[in-house]
Structures are given as C-alpha cells and as structure tokens.
Amino acid sequence: MPLVLLGGITGRRTMDLAMREDFQFAAMGRALLMEPDLPARIRRDRATVSRCVHCNKCMPTIYTGTRCALSDR
C-alpha cells in the first residue's frame, strides 16, 4: 500500500528523507498556507526551506477561510 508522509515537510531535505524511509509521497500542509509557491521555489533551488514555524495559528482559520495567520499575504 502506498504511504504518504504528512507533517514536517518543509523542504527538499525532508522530502528526500521521507523517500529514503520508504514513503511513496510527501504531502505539504501548513508550509503551503504560508508560502503557496514553495514547491516551485524548491524545484528552482533545492536548498529552499519554508518559513512556516508550525505554530498552529492557522488551525482556527479552517472555519473562516484557511490561511496562515503569520503570513503577510
């Protein structure tokens, strides 16, 4: 059964680690709320890491339009 790792994926390093640990996919959640363009930036520069600090302040926004509470977007 294919496995998806969800949680803590903030850059290429953590994606590669997930693949080495036999996950077939790595899913991004909170990091994309802060930076929706993150996958494209990682594709251009493998050293790119999300600014997401995993504070969970985005969680209450699921009722009013999910967004990063710390982002200036």
Element (H, E) at 31: helix 30-34
User: In the predicted model, what is the mean pLDDT of residues 11-29?
Assistant: 94
Distance (Å, whole) CA 31 – CA 20: 21
Mean pLDDT throughout 23-51?
94
Q: Which residues pair with 27 in a beta bridge?
A: 6
Q: What is the pLDDT of residue 71?
A: 84
Closest CA to 27 of 14, 9, 54: 9
Residue 4's region, left for phi above 0, alpha for psi from -120 to 50, else beta, is beta
- At residue 25, the pLDDT reads 94
Look over the chain and give the mean of its residue pLDDT values, rounded to a whole number: 92
Across 6-25, average pLDDT: 94
- Tokens read off for 50: 């999300």
Confidence of residue 73 (pLDDT cuts 50, 70, 90): low
